[in-house]
Amino acid sequence: MRTFTIALVLLVTGCSTHLPGTVTVTSRPAVINPDDLTARVRYPEIVMGYHVARYVDPNNPLLLHEAHTLYRVEGLAAWNLHSASGDFVLPGSLAAPTNAAFAPPPINDAVIAQLNQQHAITRTLFQQAESLNGSLHDFATALTDNRNLVEQNQALRGELGKLNTRLDALEAESKQHQFDSSATNNNNTTNY
């Protein structure tokens, strides 16, 4: 019973005392602004933090990893190739730069002579290509005719083989018939 009263007294005193809550305000860490020149010349690397909860090591089930933050480099530092306006100043004596893709080529006598030579070579090339196409067409026609002749020769050889076989059979039959008739004649002459 004595423990019950002590517990009751502690409970009542604990509830009766009111401690004021304290709020602590801390300033954010100072952000270091990169030098203006560095920011214009190079992009910084991108680092991301990921919260990882507790987990059991997949390679060793006897190890428990406590929750922590994992930092990963998402993008490496790179050069900034974009120039700010006004960074590049041409001397007054030079003309503004032009894109070579849209500028006409410089023309002088050497360039014109080279262009004329290229045109002549191109014309010759097209004429030779047309001649070659005509020759290929003639060759294809001759090849088709040759195939037809080969098929006709094979058919004629087959017919000739059949005729030779039939002729051999007829000769054999003719010899047999002559042999039979001479044997019959010999038998008839001996019986008289």
- Summarize pLDDT for 14-70 with one digit per residue, the tens: 555 555 656 565 655 554 554 566 777 788 888 999 998 999 999 999 999 899 898
Q: Contact at 8 Å (CB) between 78 and 43?
A: yes
| pLDDT for the residue numbered 24 | 61
Coarse DSSP helix, strand, coil percentages of the chain, rounded to the nearest 5 percent? 55, 10, 35
Cα–Cα dist 134/155, whole Å: 32
> What is the predicted pLDDT for the residue at 116?
94
- Does 178 have pLDDT greater than 60? yes
Contact 75, 46 (CB under 8 A): yes
CA distance 159 to 151: 12
Is the confidence at residue 187, as pLDDT, over 90? no
Q: Amino acid identity, residue 93?
A: S
Q: Residue 83 above 90 pLDDT?
A: no
- Give me the mean pLDDT over the 163-192 stretch: 79
Contact 54/68 with Cβ under 8 angstroms? Answer: no
pLDDT band for position 168 (cuts 50, 70, 90): very high
Nearest to 49 by CA among 77, 72, 18: 72
Query: Does pTM top 0.95 for this prediction?
Result: no
First CA to last CA distance, the chain:
170
* Parallel, antiparallel or unpaired: strands 68-75 and 46-52: antiparallel
Cβ contact 75:44 at 8 Å: no
Of residues 6 and 92, more confidently modeled:
6
80-85 average pLDDT score: 70
Domain ranges of the chain: 34-83
**Which band of pLDDT confidence, cut at 50, 70 and 90, is reported for residue 181?**
confident
What pLDDT, in 10s, does the model give residues 87-146? 555 555 555 666 777 777 778 888 889 999 999 999 999 999 999 999 999 999 999 999
Report the pLDDT value the prediction gives residue 82, as an integer from 0 to 100.
Answer: 74
